[in-house]
């Protein structure tokens, strides 16, 4: 059973439907006790880091998420759900994250470049995924597969060994991470058609 955390800022319908399409058993959870009892966990997210981390703390979900990661439960963060795992975000200020993966969240910055006008922020649409190592989430997915992004900020891990994949948008940025039981993507596998669904299936079968 896969538990998808509902804290009011996730694209729950698309994520749930994606898992259901690959035959996974899923449920929506809203309480810390449900996270503590979960087998596998998905943390989705759309919107501002500040609002998301504040809501997780107000609902008492932050501690349960950290416990789940530390206990070795399979964990998948998606989009904002990736960024929340990091120490700090500089989105419209400075906000402390969950601290599960050391590093920071920063905005794309193309100011002063000759190609500035052609580099859109937010980075939106389809782009190539290039993984750095044999990641369980990407099993059977071709190198260079196009996946769907919508984001203005990206993560900068302190430890390069957690980098699972990189993508090009005005330079190289980290598009997914993997450490032990914790995996997270900046892109949306639930919106990435055939190969995105293959990733969700891989997670369900771990």
The conformational region for residue 169 under phi > 0 = left, psi -120 to 50 = alpha, else beta, is: beta
Strands 130-131 and 182-185: unpaired
190 is catalytic: yes
Gap between the Cα atoms of 100 and 142, Å rounded:
29
Catalytic entry in 79, 123, 151, 154:
79
What sections of the chain are H helices per DSSP?
Answer: 12-21, 32-37, 49-58, 62-70, 80-83, 193-204
32: number of Cβ within 10 Å = 17
Choose the catalytic residue: 123, 130, 188, 205: 188
CA distance 183 to 100: 11
Strand 146-151 and strand 153-157: the pairing is: unpaired
Query: Residues near 122 by Cβ (< 8 Å), separated by ≥ 6?
Result: 150, 151, 152
Q: Which of 123, 154, 169, 190 is catalytic?
A: 190
Q: Does residue 188 carry a catalytic annotation?
A: yes
What DSSP string runs through 159-195?
Answer: SGGGEEEEEESSSEEEEEEEETTEEEESSBGGGSHHH
Active site residue 79: yes
Catalytic residues, by residue number, are 79, 188, 190
């Amino acid at each position: 059973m896969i538990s998808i955390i509902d804290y009011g800022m996730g694209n729950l319908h698309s994520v749930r439907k994606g898992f259901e399409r690959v035959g996974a058993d899923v449920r929506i959870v809203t309480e810390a006790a449900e996270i503590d009892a979960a087998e596998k966990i998905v943390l989705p997210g759309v919107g501002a880091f500040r609002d998301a981390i504040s809501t997780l703390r107000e609902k008492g979900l932050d501690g349960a998420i950290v416990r789940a990661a530390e206990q070795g439960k399979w964990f998948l963060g998606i989009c904002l759900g990736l960024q929340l795992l990091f120490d700090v975000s500089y989105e419209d200020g400075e906000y402390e994250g969950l601290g599960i993966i050391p590093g920071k969240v920063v905005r794309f910055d193309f100011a002063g470049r000759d190609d500035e006008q052609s580099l859109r922020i937010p980075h939106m649409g389809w782009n190539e995924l290039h993984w750095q190592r044999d990641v369980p989430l990407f099993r059977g997915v071709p190198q260079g597969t196009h996946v769907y992004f919508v984001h203005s900020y990206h993560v900068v891990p302190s430890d390069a060994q957690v980098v699972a994949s990189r993508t090009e948008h005005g330079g190289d940025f980290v598009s997914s991470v993997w450490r032990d039981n914790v995996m997270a993507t900046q892109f949306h596998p639930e919106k990435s058609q055939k190969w995105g669904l293959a990733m969700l299936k891989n997670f369900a079968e771990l």
